[in-house]
Amino acid sequence: MNTANYLKFYIDGAWVDPIEARTLDVIDPSTEQPFAKISIGSAADVDRAVKAARAAFDGFSRTSVNERVELLEAIGAEYDKRAEDIAEAVSREMGAPLGFARGAQVWIGRAHLTEIVKVLKSYRFEYMRGNTRVVKEPIGVVGMITPWNWPLNQITCKVAPALAAGCTMVLKPSEIAPIDAVIFAEVMQAAGVPKGVFNMVQGTGDTVGSRISSHPDIDMVSFTGSTRAGVLVAKSAADTVKRVHQELGGKSANILLPDADLAAAIPPSIATCFGNSGQSCNAPTRMLVPRERQAEAIAIARKAASTYVVGDPRKESSGLGPVVSKAQFDKIQNLIDSGIKEGATLVIGGLGRPEGLSRGYYVRPTLFADVKPSMRIAREEIFGPVLSIMPYETEEEAIRIANETVYGLAAYVQSSSLEHARAVGSRMRAGTVYLNNPDFDIGAPFGGYKQSGNGREWSEFGLDEFLETKGVVGFQVA
């Protein structure tokens, strides 16, 4: 691994030094100690990257579908060569256990590359509608701002469809988990991506992110992160009237209907909630159960939650690693404390690190019961391994509670009757609805309602976001 590139940016097909020499420590959350340094960019670095992307756009936008398919396949092949390096980086920078880093974090990045190739081979960029030719064209230069929690997922589900569309781009990865992005840029270089098509500038949101959002030569900004930051991106982008695509926060409800098989439904629901140490925006963190079955649900959930081993991400025995940072750890502790003080029943877990761990941002897997909709743990995105069990009286009340949130990223419905689950699922105000803990589907649209964002990612839905629609009227005379 070329650690020298940690202190450089990838611009116009080359690794270059920042205009201003400023560095930031990258912290290993399992030790609370730095393990690498990166350079922090300035607005001038963004300007340089945008200039390269703008110069490359005319040529790259006119490449054929076959040329872009071949390029994406080459990227996939190089990605496979670096898979272990990427897994090691993700584990060090954001605390994912190595097995999870390989099997989930690295895997999903590869899955998006595979999926977009399949989509691109059959996508209709042009078709006739009467005497009008409808043409889908690349939107232009895209600014991409990605988070730390699923870094390869968010990089690839933006970069891959943007390339498929014929766009050029400037990526700002998270400064908290930046090393995987350095390796990804090396993958792009090794795959022969034409110079200027893909550019990467490391930095903070208030400097690099802000300049990307406001830059007059960027045609679109695609952002994944918190709703608070998403609002700032949208405001910054407004003056240039660029397209803004956002995938933001969530507070997903998991409705266990009265006819649900709790023993079958709850353990996989806990796994989805606690996976990635709870750091997933679509995690089912609010489990709604019939009041008369809450005691049964608590017993099953307690048993399932107690099986999770929290520990060193490099040990095979660890199922959950630390959360990503001290700021995240402190936020989770504050919210757990609020649940206790507001009167929720603490079933398992609670404040502080798990037993035997005195260093690292480790959080105890935590279950609350008797949670009311007004409590902070029921309203705010915790982003940690914390589940709130909320009793309800009627199905209508459950639906109301599920939808009674500013978010709308995902919803989960469990029932022994698929027809019943479908009926309740149709009433969920969320971008993705999961019925009875289904298998993962990389081809499903991903995105949110309300303050969970706008636009969609993954598969052809992601490709659509990077295209403009043109009507050529009179193309064909009757």
Per DSSP, the three-state class of 3 is: helix
In a domain, 339, yes or no: yes
Q: Which of 175, 247, 457, 465 is catalytic?
A: 247
In a domain, 368, yes or no: yes
The arithmetic mean of pLDDT across residues 462-468, rounded, is 98
φ and ψ at 206, to 5 degrees? -75, -15
Quick one: pLDDT band at residue 353, thresholds 50, 70, 90? very high
Mean pLDDT in the chain?
97
In a domain, 73, yes or no: yes
Enter the DSSP assignment of 366: E
Quick one: pLDDT band at residue 435, thresholds 50, 70, 90? very high
In a domain, 83, yes or no: yes
Same domain (yes/no): 208, 324: no
* pLDDT per position as a tens digit, 206-232: 999 999 999 999 999 999 999 999 999
Check if 281 is active-site: yes
Q: Give me the residues paired with residue 420 across strands.
A: none
What is the pLDDT, as a whole number, of residue 464?
98
CA triple 98-101-105, angle to 5 deg = 180
DSSP string, 57-91: HHHHHT--HHHHHHHHHHHHHHHHHTHHHHHHHHH
Same domain (yes/no): 236, 288: no
Q: In the predicted model, is pLDDT for residue 1 greater than 80? A: no
In whole angstroms, what is the distance from residue 93 CA to residue 175 CA?
10
Give the orientation angle of helix 418-425 with respect to helix 395-403, to 10 degrees: 40
Spatial CB neighbours of 174, under 8 Å, sequence gap ≥ 6: 146, 147, 148, 151, 181
Q: In the predicted model, is pLDDT for residue 242 greater than 90? A: yes
Same domain (yes/no): 143, 36: yes
Q: How far is CA 187 from the centre of its chain?
A: 21
The enclosing domain of 319 has a CATH number of 3.40.309.10
Same domain (yes/no): 177, 229: yes
Residues 154, 36: contact at Cβ < 8 Å?
no
Check if 292 is active-site: no
Quick one: pLDDT band at residue 369, thresholds 50, 70, 90? very high
Spatial CB neighbours of 478, under 8 Å, sequence gap ≥ 6: 131
In a domain, 437, yes or no: yes
Residues 265, 414: contact at Cβ < 8 Å?
yes
What is the pLDDT, as a whole number, of residue 444?
98
Q: Which domain holds residue 340?
A: 253-442
In whole angstroms, what is the distance from residue 90 CA to residue 105 CA?
8
Per DSSP, the three-state class of 26 is: strand
Same domain (yes/no): 278, 418: yes
Six token digits for residue 295: 């005691």
Query: Most distant CA pair in the chain: distance in Å?
Result: 79
Quick one: pLDDT band at residue 477, thresholds 50, 70, 90? confident
Enter the DSSP assignment of 400: H
In a domain, 401, yes or no: yes
In whole angstroms, what is the distance from residue 109 CA to residue 105 CA?
7
Q: Which of 273, 281, 381, 460 is catalytic?
A: 281
Same domain (yes/no): 371, 458: no
What is the pLDDT, as a whole number, of residue 96?
98
SS (H, E, C) 265-327: HHHHHHHHHHHHHHCCCCCCCEEEEEHHHHHHHHHHHHHHHCCCCECCCCCCCCCECCCCCHH
In a domain, 225, yes or no: yes
Tell me what percent of the residues of the chain surpass a pLDDT of 90.
99
Q: In the predicted model, is pLDDT for residue 253 greater than 90? A: yes
What is the pLDDT, as a whole number, of residue 478?
65
* pLDDT per position as a tens digit, 3-31: 999 999 999 999 999 999 999 999 999 99
Among all chains, which residue has been given the structure tokens 């209508």? Answer: 396
Same domain (yes/no): 376, 436: yes
Same domain (yes/no): 126, 9: yes
Rg of the chain (C-alpha set): 23
What is the pLDDT, as a whole number, of residue 80?
98
Six token digits for residue 256: 């266990």
* pLDDT per position as a tens digit, 61-119: 999 999 999 999 999 999 999 999 999 999 999 999 999 999 999 999 999 999 999 99
Same domain (yes/no): 241, 264: no
In a domain, 447, yes or no: no
Task: Please count the residues of the chain.
Answer: 478
φ and ψ at 394, to 5 degrees? -130, 160
How many domains are there within the chain? 2
Six token digits for residue 62: 């006119």
What is the pLDDT, as a whole number, of residue 231?
96
Same domain (yes/no): 305, 370: yes
The enclosing domain of 90 has a CATH number of 3.40.605.10
Same domain (yes/no): 437, 459: no
Per DSSP, the three-state class of 462 is: helix
Q: In the predicted model, is pLDDT for residue 450 greater than 80? A: yes
* pLDDT per position as a tens digit, 265-320: 999 999 999 999 999 999 999 999 999 999 999 999 999 999 999 999 999 999 99
Same domain (yes/no): 270, 123: no
